[in-house]
Amino acid sequence: MQHLAFTLGLTLLAVLPSAGARAATAEEAMLQQFRFTSIDGGQIGFTDWAGHPVLIANTASLCGYTPQYNDLQALYDAYRDRGLVVVAVPSDDFRQELGSEQEVKDFCELNYDLDLPMTGITHVRGETAHPFFSWLRESQGFEPQWNFNKVLIGADGSVLGTWGSSEVPTGPAITQAVEAALAS
């Protein structure tokens, strides 16, 4: 599997345009393959966010950590003009998500006024995990243990940090990592 991923990464690296004079890293090339269904319809993914740091959080509407939606939106509002992308990935892997994507979208708009990118309901664990989360587990040993786990991907495609549910998106651990990612 790692050989296939490495080969795929090299193949993608060969066809990706460079950002200015800088060539894409193998990590960037690997990330470019990952697409998600958008909760608004269509597809979203790392090709849309190339050259930007991306904070991804697996979320759920009926979790005790659900108020972190406010913090995810606040982080996005504070740093989006500098290039940060914050993505919510609703998941029912812990049996705390609403029954449909429309319900999730309505809930988030009504209760949290979210305008950050959001995927459709997505598996984040185990054999049925979305390929991004499978890659994250295989390459970094990180798999969400509960809702509102977070991962920061640098503009170069490297994993800059992972955090559990209790780490608030606007807390110092994440904001310092975001500031460092935006400065590089």
On average, the pLDDT of the chain sits at: 88
Q: Is residue 63 among the annotated active site residues?
A: yes
* Res 28: pLDDT: 72
105: closest CA among 92, 121, 94?
Answer: 121
Catalytic residue among 16, 63, 180, 182: 63
State pLDDT tens for residues 51-89: 999 999 999 999 999 999 999 999 999 999 999 999 999
Answer yes or no: are the C-beta atoms of 16 and 32 closer than 8 Å. Answer: yes
- Tell me, which fold does domain 2-6+23-183 have in CATH? Glutaredoxin (3.40.30)
Which residue shows structure tokens 């049996």? 95
Q: Looking at the DSSP assignment, which residues form a beta bridge with residue 63? A: none
Taking residues 165-181, report their average pLDDT: 98
* DSSP class per residue in 34-76: -EEEBTTSSEEETTTTTTS-EEEEEE-TTSTTTTHHHHHHHHH
CB atoms within 10 A of CB 139: 13
State pLDDT tens for residues 87-112: 999 999 999 999 999 999 999 999 99
What does the alpha-carbon distance between residue 7 and residue 98 come to, in Å, rounded to a whole number? 39
What does the alpha-carbon distance between residue 105 and residue 113 come to, in Å, rounded to a whole number? 10
